[in-house]
Structure 1
Amino acid sequence: MSHLRITALGLAALISSALGVAPAQASNSFAVVDAYKDFLPSYTAGPADGDMDVIAAAAFYDGADKTFSFSTILADKVGLTPGALYVWGIDRGRGTQRFLAGSPSIGAGVFFDSVLVVRPDGTGAFNDFINGTSTPLDPAHIKISGLTVTVEDLPLDLLAPDTAGFKADPALYTWNLWPRLGLGSNNQISDFAPDGANLGFQVTAVPEPQTFAMLLAGLGLVGLRASRTRRA
């Protein structure tokens, strides 16, 4: 697994890395290139299909517009596995390793106090465990196309930033992504991206859709090249 900090100006270098040139890494990461077919051993609830396997993911916080955006590339077309869900866990300052208490115990290092749940049909919800609320997402913010799931321009207010105990600067929130097959048991979770850690947000204006798509395509190329290298 590689953690990368990427900007639009660095996209060419990213795609070059997919062709065999290793990019420089930075300590402040907002994106992850995840291993191919790295299904959790505890995942026994369903098939090991490609739409349950994260290849790459990234997240942004636009400080000017005060919005969050999330996106991922999967190893196969979204919708292949009936009942699949894509869940971003977000730690706003009161996150815990909630999966450790489940059965089986998994997810050491994955902290969250809320989740963003997206379904392949383009619907979703934001579930706030601290404030005890569940808010349906406007489908206009959800984009699903081929291998990609993107949630764009979620307003900061949705994440209840003024709640006691949260980090004062929302740019310091962190995230992890996991596909899962339904809700209820830890054996439904197929993959964590990244493994055993949270990532921060890229704090910048979110790229234009074309640039965002190119960036994610570059991430996907990195992941797919890495998978081919391992299989060879």
Structure 2
Amino acid sequence: MRLTTVKRLVAAVMFSASALAQASVVNDATGDYLAGYAGSKAGDLDVVSASVTYNPQTDVFHFESTFAAAIGTSPGGLYVLGFDRCAGTGRFAASGLPNVLFDSVVVINTNGSGAVNLLVPQPVVSTPFAAGTAVIDGAKLSLDILGSWLPSAGFSKSGYTWNLWPRDGSQPAGFGQISDFAPDSVNAAVQVVPLPGAVWLFGSALAGFIAARRRVFR
């Protein structure tokens, strides 16, 4: 095998790994408020990007999101992250979103407090978390969610899917509080990290082979 061929293989492996690492980032158009939404349009309830990763070694889900304005700009703002653990149903089907499936929700307030609510099986099980648990940095919001707070309902945790919808709690209760969905009409897959060991081992082995070839041809 020629050295240039090996280099190309290493590059291909690293490119694939990079693509996988970015696969779960959802980019959402700004200003795409839902039709009929009459709440705050100051920007902090308008999703720009969001992602959820899962680390099986630590059993932690990591949620990150960015909005069009600093969080807290809208006094009634809150953020709901829905998960489908295998028992998800289309609870927004009557509002035209049958493919946003969830059986649990993580509710995050603008002071970083909130709760993880398991909607099935009944009765609802709620795990609250204290103010400051979710990290707020200007327009960015992030939260580490323990896997024990989101036990499987049939899927492996790496197979969960999710969707994010901000709400304006100052509006009358119901679907009309929701300003945006990310993704717009379907769930996104959780991205597993670290990436599968075989990818890194293969890349490392090829890199070692390159180094050995260089020593031979000096």
Name which of 110, 114, 126 aligns with 2:104: 114
* Offset, 1:106: 3.8
- The 2-side partners of 1:205 and 1:93 are apart by 23
**1:75 alignment partner in structure 2:** 68
* Distance in structure 1 (CA, Å) of the matches to 2:71 and 2:51: 17
* Inter-partner Cα distance in structure 2 for 1:56 and 1:106: 22
Q: Any conservation in 2 of the 1:106–1:186 contact (CA below 8 Å)?
A: no
Aligned pairs, number: 175
* Mapped pair 1:29 → 2:20: no
Provide the C-alpha distance between the structure 2 equivalents of 1:116 and 1:106, rounded to a whole number of angstroms.
22
In the other structure, the counterpart of 1:180 is: 167
Aligned residues with identical type, % of pairs:
38
TM-score normalized by structure 2? 0.74
Per-residue deviation, 1:138: 4.2
Residue among 110, 126, 130 paired with 2:120? 130
Q: Which moved more, 1:135-144 or 1:57-66?
A: 135-144
Tell me the CA shift for residue 83 of structure 1.
Answer: 1.2
Residue 141 (structure 1) aligned to one of 122, 133, 145: 133
Question: Which structure has the larger Rg over C-alpha atoms?
Answer: 2
Give, as a single letter, the amino acid of the residue that structure 2 aligns with 1:159: L
Shift of 1:113: 0.5
Shift of 1:201: 1.2
- Partner SS, residue 40 of structure 1: coil
How far apart, CA to CA, are the structure 2 residues paired with 1:184 and 1:117? 15
Match of 1:193 among 163, 173, 182: 182
**Aligned counterparts of 2:71 and 2:97: Cα–Cα separation in 1:** 24
Partner-residue secondary structure (3-state), 1:81: coil
Taking the aligned partners of 2:139 and 2:132, their CA distance within structure 1 comes to 18
Residue in structure 2 matched with residue 91 of structure 1 by the alignment: 84
1:171 paired to 2:162: no
Give 4+ residue runs of structure 1 displaced > 6 Å after superposition. Answer: none
Task: Select 1:202's aligned residue among 188, 191, 200.
Answer: 191
Name the CA distance, whole Å, in 1 between partners of 2:54 and 2:63.
9
> 1:122 aligns to what SS in structure 2?
coil
Residue 55 (str. 1) matches residue 48 (str. 2)? yes
- Counterparts of 2:55 and 2:140, CA distance in 1: 21
For 2:44, what is the secondary structure of its paired residue?
A: helix
Quick one: distance in 2 between partners of 1:127 and 1:179? Answer: 16
Give per-residue Cα distances to partners, 1:166-202, cap 9 Å, x unaligned.
21x1100000001001283101100000011111111
Q: Which runs of 5+ in 2 are unaligned?
A: 1-13, 196-218
Indicate the residue corresponding to 1:151 in structure 2. Answer: 143
Equivalent residue runs for 1:5-20 within 5 Å: none
Partners of 1:85 and 1:140 in 2: how far apart?
Answer: 14
SS at match of 2:92: helix
Shift of 1:139: 4.0
RMSD of Structure 2 on Structure 1 (CA):
2.2
Matches of 1:48 and 1:33 in 2, distance apart? 19
Counterparts of 2:86 and 2:36, CA distance in 1? 28
TM-score by length of 1: 0.70
The gaps in structure 1 that reach 5 residues or longer are: 1-8, 14-24, 207-232
